[in-house]
Amino acid sequence: MRTALLVIVLVAACNAERAREPGGVTVHGAGILDRTSDDFHGKVLARVGWDTGVCASCHDPAKVDAAPPCEGCHADGPSGCTSCHASPPATGAHRAHAEVGACATCHPVPSGWRDPGHLGARAIIAFAPIAGPAARFDGARCSGVACHGAALADPAARNTTPAWNGGAAEAACGTCHGAPPANHGGGYACATCHPADAPHVDGTVQVARGCDGCHGSASSAAPPRDLAGDTFTTAIGVGAHQAHLRGPSRLRGPVECKTCHAVPTMIEQAGHIDSAAPAEVDAALGWDRASATCATWCHGAARPVWTRTGEAVCGSCHGIPPVDGAHAPTMQLTDCATCHPGSVDASGYPIVHDDLTSEHINGHVDL
């Protein structure tokens, strides 16, 4: 609409000029405002070697009774970028690229409109370093461009060589890397690990903080929060994580993550994000997700429910006293220290040392 109005204004101005000339004769051809005509003023200017002085002989506002100035239609003046093309140009994927980057990413930007190479028949393509050393454009498609996933080398990516005139679908989500990428398991949203407010396609894979960027919190890498965003212990992804990691019951020292899970040293390590949720649990622990229980020696014969609190208390793993030939049924908690002085104190309560180690529930019966 704005372009059409400018053309109407300029046509009216030129008609006014004709009216002032004897017999209505004009110095311009009929196609002076028609981009498809050889008489279009841009093409005329090109034929005279871009000598704007030719135009200024009439279109100079400093002269008396001057023709309409260029600024009447070209707000940036005759040598402004928008005088010859839109900023950004409307052709191909110019506008889509301008939303996320600068012209200099793909073109050498001149300091002046007369700079060598600027007024050529075709724009010069000179990729900036962010595009990668293998970036190429063959006139129809880009290839080897880091911006479109070439550096990721993701076999799940649908289109890393987008067509310049192909439209928005050429760079849709899933074209540069898979959705999810081939080295990711499914089952959780991108924002689980990648901050929603982080820069995108800037040459750096943004992951929130460390382990706790995807699960846990700033104070602990273990849930809550789980990968689904749950924070209540009734959610299976949360459950008794903190009860194990912190050992608040003081029945023993904290249980390390590696006791139940393979702990990666890097995000991309095999067995970490390359499989779908839920997280794998050491098979030796006898974990049954359906019942949310495990059959590990830590709890004796009991199978405490992962998503319920109060499941592990003194007497839940073995009786008080245990029912076997070594214990008399009349024994009390205060008798435990008689035979197990390293594990429990005189009141029968488990001993947890200042360094959070404990001989109670450590896989060995202390006598």
pLDDT (tens digit per residue) in 55-85:
888 888 888 778 888 888 888 887 888 888 8
For the question of whether the overall pTM of this predicted structure is more than 0.95, the answer is no
- Give the pLDDT of residue 66: 80
Query: What percent of the chain clears pLDDT 70, i.e. is strictly above it?
Result: 92
Give the pair of three-digit tokens for residue 96.
């889509």
Q: Predicted confidence band at 2 (pLDDT cuts at 50, 70, 90)?
A: very low
- Give the pLDDT of residue 358: 92
Who has greater pLDDT, 19 or 50? 50
Spatial distance between the Cα atoms of 66 and 63, rounded to a whole number of angstroms: 5
pLDDT tens profile 270-310: 888 888 888 889 999 999 999 999 998 889 889 999 999 99
- pLDDT surpassing 70 at residue 165: yes
- Give the pLDDT of residue 344: 94
- Give the pLDDT of residue 209: 65
88 with 94: CB under 8 angstroms? yes
Who has greater pLDDT, 267 or 105? 105
- Give the pLDDT of residue 6: 41
Spatial distance between the Cα atoms of 106 and 128, rounded to a whole number of angstroms: 6
- pLDDT surpassing 50 at residue 22: no
Who has greater pLDDT, 176 or 197? 176
Helices (H), the chain: 2-20, 41-47, 52-56, 81-84, 94-98, 241-246, 336-339
pLDDT tens profile 110-148: 888 888 888 877 889 999 998 999 999 999 999 999 999
- pLDDT surpassing 70 at residue 150: yes
Report CA-CA distances (Å) from 29 to 41, 57, 87: 9, 17, 28
Average pLDDT on 18-29 reads 52
- Give the pLDDT of residue 11: 45
Average pLDDT on 218-231 reads 90
- Give the pLDDT of residue 26: 61
pLDDT tens profile 180-213: 999 888 777 888 888 888 888 888 888 876 788 8
- Smallest Cα–Cα separation from 251: which of 321, 333, 334, 351? 351
